[in-house]
A and B are shown apart, each in its own frame.
Chain A
Amino acid sequence: MDLNELLKLSWRALLANKLRSFLTTLGIVIGVFAIILLVSIASGLQTYITNQIQGFGSNLIFIIPGRLGGARTPGGVMVNKLLIQDSQNLSVKLKNVADIAPVIQQITTAKYQNKDDEETSILGTTANYTKTVKNAVVEHGRYFSQSQELSGAKVAVIGQTVKNNLFELEEPVGKRFFIGNNIYTVIGVLKKRGAIFGIDQDNTVIIPLSSAKRQFGVNQVNAIYISANNESQIPFIKDQISSVLLKRLTKDEFTIQTAESSLEIVTNVTNILSLALGGIAAISLLVGGIGVANIMLVSVTERTREIGLRKALGARRADILKQFLLEAVILSLTGGVIGIMLGITGSLILARLLVSQVTIWSVFIAFGFSVIVGVVFGMAPAIRASKLSPIEALRYE
């Protein structure tokens, strides 16, 4: 029996029960839609975070106090043992291979006239911070010089959020404002950096390291950024860092991260997320498949006499099998195609609000799955139909 004839038959049978076919298809539509959409969200998230991390530059290495993912000290408080001194030791050792910028980070309120910017992140760092961290770019005014840094000048480079909150439409450069109780002068404005892990990177004020040290009375740094002159030297530099730091610290008191190792963590997390979300969605596709099997069993029972007649007229087992299998595949494939289109549309809409990105592989997998679901769940009913004895089928009431 040729394919054209089979297609015509299946199509006619499905149209004869429009509502029933529609509802069965809907089960598949929802499953496929869910797979595409959820995987798109996970994948959009991954791309977003990856871009953010790459914004720091691929040559970046950063050192943070404590052990990442490690147990905290008893009592739950982590004692920060990473000092400005460590950064200076590293500068000496790595003078010819990298730029180094230690960062003291404090959260304080910045004030200008009657306007407050609460929870501003104050970064005290060196003059070469902008050389080290690639996405810290001064778009207006300038960055402080090494002599300003060393003399502890009260100058500040502000982020976009701070600019908007404190100065609104005023020209910020040259204006004097408060950080805590000290008065600083704005000398530059940073380009917008966006948010990473939900933290607004533009709600930032950068001041010279020595000014921060004096104002907050600390010797610990919250991070040391190191930018390798050459990407291929990163492993060597990491070794150097370890050997310098281990002279004074234990290996649990600091962590060395690179853009690459951070990306690895993010990729691992989002891959697990993709799988988990895709898996949940696959369950709904499975339920849709059971719906197909169910309706095909009903269809076989309803058409027992037709099957008997076809066999009497010369249909072989395979002819009957193909007829019912094709019907199931058409049901689930139609659902699959509609689901894919809805999924892509949904994901495009979502991309405007959140992060979302349609991945080709999820479309292929969803398409493949809907065919497989049709075959797998259509098989049992179709085999049952093909095995009916012609005389018993003809006699069926």
Chain B
Amino acid sequence: MKDQELINLINITKDYVIGDVVTKVLKGIYLKVKRGEFIAITGRSGSGKSTLMNLIGLLDTPTNGSYILEEADVLKFKEDELSDLRNRKIGFVFQSFNLLPRSTVLENVILPGIYAGVDKKTREEKGRNLLLKLDLLEQESKRPNRLSGGQQQRVAIARALMNNPDLILADEPTGNLDIKSGQDVMRLLKKLNREGKTIILITHERDIAKHAKRVIELIDGKIS
């Protein structure tokens, strides 16, 4: 189980077309990720890290290539099936937190539970447990903008964990945080990895990347 393959990207390419201009961002990516891995993806700005992350997260589709997620050929999936897959299998942590400003901390955390059809009592219990684990329980009924950046990112991590996904994707999760909060977030991700989550982290800071067990560098649209 531990060594089982979670992700297999085969010759993935991604072109952006704006008018007549074609930008080839990814030029043939091969990547295998096993369950329980902690991978950092680095590379220059504009090298295509976020583009790759969005493909892995099923938010975008590649121009070519194939993507096997847990033995499923996910590129054949329809839009709503992809929504379900994201909902159950993938937790997202964004650089800019992406919390809903009009909802409370707890409501933000349980959002994936709502789309999964979990009943109200169960999902609120689960949400509170997560907040407790991340030391945010006192904040549960506040609006996100009342919280510090570090706290907001921890709320986002709690939300990513709501449906107990196998895979956590974090695109520069420390990018908007001070050093101390950034370190807290990294400690948290490491802890989650120890508990069995597969984590893929994007960063361009060497200090952050060194927390990962494997570091991948994107150069010229390929993995070096």
Contact = CB atoms under 8 A, between A and B. Distances in A.
Interface of A: 1-2, 4-5, 12-13, 16, 305-306, 309-319, 389-391, 394
Contacts of B98: 305, 309, 394
Contact of A13 (B102, B111, B115): B102
Given A319-B115, A391-B54, A391-B60, A314 B102 contact: no
B1 to A, nearest CB: 25
Contact of B100 (A309, A317, A390, A391): A309
A314 B87 contact: yes
Contacts of B112: 313-314
Contacts of B159: 313
The 5 A-B pairs at the shortest CB distance, nearest first, are namely A314-B87, A314-B115, A391-B59, A391-B60, A316-B80
Given A305-B98, A315-B115, A316-B79, 11 more contacts: A1-B114, A4-B120, A16-B102, A306-B100, A310-B115, A314-B84, A314-B115, A314-B163, A315-B83, A317-B83, A391-B54
B79 A312 contact: no
Nearest to B107: A8
A364 B102 CA distance: 35
B59 A313 contact: no
Nearest to B83: A316
Contacts, number: 59
Interface in B88-118: 88, 92, 94, 98, 100, 102-103, 111-112, 114-117
A314 B86 contact: yes
Query: Is chain A's binding surface mostly helix, strand, loop or mixed?
Result: helix
A252 B86 CA distance: 84
B57 interface: yes
Given A13-B102, A16-B102, A317-B80, A310 B59 contact: no
Contacts of A319: 115
Contact of A1 (B60, B88, B92, B115): B115
Contact of A312 (B80, B84, B86, B116): B86
Contacts of A1: 114-115, 117
B115 A312 contact: no
A4 B54 CA distance: 32
Contacts of B57: 312
Contact of A390 (B59, B111, B115): B59
B151 to A, nearest CB: 19
B212 to A, nearest CB: 23
A310 B111 contact: yes
A317 B79 contact: yes
Contact of A313 (B54, B102, B103, B115): B115
B99 to A, nearest CB: 9
Interface in B56-82: 57, 59-60, 79-80
A389 B86 CA distance: 14
A162 to B, nearest CB: 73
Nearest to A392: B60
A318 B88 CA distance: 18
A315 B82 CA distance: 10
Contacts of B86: 312-314
Interface string B191-221: 0000000000000000000000000000000
Contacts of A317: 79-80, 83
Given A319-B115, A391-B54, A313 B87 contact: yes
Interface string B113-140: 0111100100000000000000000000
